[in-house]
Structure 1
């Protein structure tokens, strides 16, 4: 039997905590936070989930057995393809609410299967939502597509999971879009190579998902996004296949692969890509640097980002988050600083970086803290376990969610203060108590990416409404202060109002034109990035808006 994912939360179903383990974890977390119930609620089991009847019937086996064999409409398949893993998704799944379950799940085995599924769906009047690892935190895979479709097909790409070719001379690899992060690294390992792209969702997210959401990865400076690692992309759209030429760079007009980057499944289904790989690092050095204030730490991060030293890890955590993740006692901000190289020792780069930190008021233990020990190890473990911990928090009536953005250095300090203050006030209004913490995840010479975490008590049954109200305040404050609605979480359906306000109108019109060209019936992930092209089912197909 293939291993199955948890139907509502993070991780594998066979790794889910037992009821006794959840109770034990809830007791400890409630004591640590100072709120939340130690009496954990139980999730609705998969077998008790009630779904709306499918509106679509799969292709008939007699007419085309090969095509029919790609489709499933059983409860487990539909449930596991309903949501991503945002807080609002996890809460609804926990309570057994799968109102927007897809009608069918299609699992192509090869690229030509993708084209056949799209052709069938177009003929059936069905929307198609590409589905990789299902880790979207912005409603990117939820079947909220409007009334203009006969049904929805979730297109699961995870069988397209192979490294097809390795070019060791150019240090590049041709990889299928459905490969999960660990499987990609395992297939590159015999070649002594790595992609070195490690988002927090690494275990359960796919290369294609990273590309279409412009995912942020391991590196805090330089190559921070998957954009920087993509050499070319191939995608299948209802109008046919399109692929960018494999080149180290080109000035030949707007780049086709750059249009697919961040397209969120609206312009084509990414089936493979050439990506830039590198030898695995063997030299590492790092420190946990402490600062008396978050502002002092931010000045150090700015100096590091503008120094040309290019630390691989440069994550600044405020004092409250350090305490929350057991990486500190709440008295100081913490900078997780790290360097690595496959070719030469990095100690000299670290020493130069520490000199910049000292000038900004930083201090550290002279003994190196490895990734597995000390404050760095505590924060790293909390970072990796956060999605699992959130599942327990849901069970104990605690709201736990994040949002992120980016801003230039000249506005950074005022921006963080304004956004955090607005959201803290919203948390008090909605929940009565709670924390809003901030960390810097990625740093550039001209700015940084602040990443906020909200943890608060919430009345059971009100979680989604309370979070949506807080999120509206956060989104409005971010845009009013000049930031972006997302640095690396994508747009999906949840960020649409702020994305629409952020992008220029002529660009929106150009994007609608591109959508109409490659997906004339508007079946690919309707409602993400742009409005669905289809009118209600009883009306004729409407042209895209001017």
Structure 2
């Protein structure tokens, strides 16, 4: 394993020893309380592990002996901590359960294979014994993608944790590809690649605690996907263990020999097989990086600039546009102690420039050869200024880059104070971006208002464009709200349902990069259609005839 499980929070984000991002004395708490219209922020700590009792494992002694013979006794775990750690992912919905000590979904055991052959042997045994298998990488899914659901009420569930499979098998610097085992965490992957002067360039917000296999299985996107691509773009080839045997997809730069089956692997979420190895595209390390900020007078002006940048074919790594609420929230949230960016002098300056009402921050990231980056910086700045933007220089970009993985660390202390924090995302065409943002924001706001714990309380909805393409872009929503502590799950379900229905009715996809899991499965039929879903189910039936692989995900 690249990370010892006991050093990580089983019911939260990051290391056990992680410094509290929002200690009790932090000035942000009073601002949050006032903004949400609350009389007070209650103490709502998570239930500690030593107060929780899990049901006995349903794996028989004989099954445990057979599994230990495959992976080794130390690589088979049936203790409470391992089972609790692998019960669910890291969504707000998941944390409502694990923080309350409700671990009825915990697997009956966890295996840590060390090679593809061991994965296949576990697969064959599970098929013979009718044991459900749930593939697990970093466990960072926020849509229920790794939840330990059994295929039947009394059936055993075995989680297959891939994080001992971490080899970079080969790097081809002529073809610029690398063959890598699927269990490697992001930091270890980049360290090994960069030692050879190359990079995958895939940096999702979960980068520190997510794996290559998980990125592929969820069809993920890194923050610099404009340059390096989403998972389905950089995936060249994959080797999967399935109940029908090893399945290795084609490995060509391009082919007209029918549909490219790599596109079935990317986004398959462990329902078709367990990804053991993958060949991916890599790039030379960029000689120069440039991240800087621009302030637009409104969201629509920023969207238009982002569209023009994409249509101009400028080689950007990232174009990220926050709406007015997100721009204000994160400026205020990160600067409460010192008075922040909205000082009286700054307010006066912004007002004089016409930016007093709802300014929106855009961050543009550029990576590559020095001359290319310098040219791209001049081109993007010209487009931004033509759209009425104020150039802020590299300060905001540098601040974002240095803290780009930090946001999830604020969620646990907020959960400890009676607050809910969740995210969801979609994508749509440029012509529909503004309308869809308004519809989804309104739907989330109404659902939050209908499910408040006290009179006068309210929630906050923020959005940003995070990934963009010639024909459209993604929209990423974050919402913060006071929890109804007597009906927390029902409250979340109402908000999630309202948002997802609005996305569907507003012509957005149910997920741009988080995946489907259990949370988005109810909306898949509408998006894919009966023929499309029937096709996916037919592939599932061919590769996994007994239905032992990650049931309840993707296909419902």
TM-score under structure 2 normalisation? Answer: 0.89
Q: Which residue of 2 aligns with 1:315?
A: 320
Q: SS of 1:123's equivalent?
A: helix
Deviations 1:256-284 (A, max 9, x none): 22111110001110000111111111212
Residue 504 of structure 1: how far off its partner (Å): 1.8
Per the alignment, residue 361 of structure 1 pairs with 388
3-state SS in 1 of match to 2:24 = helix
Equivalent in the alignment of 1:57: 60
Taking the aligned partners of 2:278 and 2:303, their CA distance within structure 1 comes to 36
1:211 and 2:216 correspond:
yes
Q: Is the 8 A contact 1:304 1:353 kept in 2?
A: yes
C-alpha distance in 2 between matches for 1:194 and 1:309: 21
d(CA) in 2 for partners of 1:426, 1:65 = 52
Match of 2:274 among 269, 292, 298: 269
Instruction: Give the secondary structure class of the aligned counterpart of 2:548.
Output: coil
8 Å contact from structure 1 (residues 220, 314) kept in 2: no
- Does structure 1 conserve the Cα–Cα contact (< 8 Å) formed by 2:105 and 2:148? yes
Q: Does 1:519 align with 2:544?
A: yes
- Give the 3-state SS of the residue equivalent to 1:8 in structure 2: coil
* Residue in 1 that maps onto 2:48: 45
Measured in 2, the distance between the counterparts of 1:267 and 1:261 equals: 11
Q: Distance in 2 between matches of 1:226 and 1:438?
A: 23
Aligned-pair CA distance for 1:197: 0.3
State the partner residue of 2:515.
490
1:271-310 alignment runs, 5 A limit = 271-310=276-315
Aligned to 2:28: 28
Partner of 1:96, secondary structure, is coil
Aligned to 1:105: 110
Distance 1:516 1:126 in 2: 17
8 Å Cα contact 2:421-2:480 kept in structure 1: yes
Q: Distance in 2 between matches of 1:67 and 1:180?
A: 21
Quote the residue 2:379 is aligned against.
Answer: 352
Distance in 1, matches of 2:537 and 2:443, equals 34
2:39 counterpart of 1:12: no
For the residue of structure 1 that corresponds to 2:132, the secondary structure is strand
Change (3 A) 1:412 1:251: same
**Would you say 1:80 and 2:80 are equivalent positions?**
no
1:379, CA displacement in angstroms?
A: 4.1
Structure 1 unaligned segments of length 5 or more: list them.
Answer: 532-546
**Alpha-carbon offset, residue 146 of structure 1:** 4.8
**Alpha-carbon separation, structure 2, partners of 1:73 and 1:511:** 33
**Matches of 1:14 and 1:506, distance apart in 2:** 49
Question: Could you say if the C-alpha distance between residues 146 and 267 of structure 1 is closer, same or farther in structure 2, counting changes exceeding 3 Å?
Answer: closer
Aligned counterparts of 1:444 and 1:60: Cα–Cα separation in 2:
49
Change (3 A) 1:460 1:410: same
Mapped to 1, the partners of 2:431 and 2:20 lie a distance apart of 45
Of 279-288 and 101-110, the range deviating more from structure 2: 279-288
TM alignment of 1:163-242, pairs within 5 A: 163-221=168-226, 223-242=228-247
How far off its partner does 1:131 sit? 0.4
CA contact (8 A) 2:200 2:228 kept: no
How far apart, in 2, do the equivalents of 1:22 and 1:462 lie? 27
Aligned to 1:538: none
Shift of 1:51: 1.2
For residue 422 of structure 2, the aligned residue among 398, 401, 406 is 401
Count residues with an aligned counterpart: 522
Matching of residues 318-337 of structure 1 within 5 Å: 318-326=323-331, 329=342, 331-337=358-364
With 346-355 and 232-241 compared, the bigger mean Cα shift is at 346-355
Question: Deviations for 1:63-84, whole angstroms, at most 9, x for unmatched residues?
Answer: 9634462421100100000111
Within the alignment, does 1:95 sit opposite 2:95 as a pair? no
Summarize the Cα distance change of 1:213–1:187 in structure 2 as closer, same or farther, 3 Å threshold: same
- The reply to whether residue 424 of structure 1 matches residue 433 of structure 2 is no
Deviates more, 1:326-335 or 1:257-266: 326-335
Does the 8 A contact of 1:3 with 1:12 survive in 2? no
CA distance in 1, matches of 2:10, 2:222: 26
Of 39-48 and 352-361, more deviation after overlay is shown by: 39-48
Q: Could you tell me how far 1:460 is from its partner in structure 2?
A: 2.5
Match of 1:2 among 4, 15, 24: 4
What is the alpha-carbon root mean square deviation over aligned residues? 2.1
Sort the Cα spacing of 1:381 and 1:6 in 2 relative to 1 into closer, same or farther, 3 A: same
Which position in structure 2 is the counterpart of 1:500? 525
Residue pair 1:104, 1:152 contacting (<8 A) in 2 also: yes
Q: Which of 159, 162, 181 pairs up with 1:157?
A: 162
Cα 1:56/1:241, change in 2 over 3 Å: same
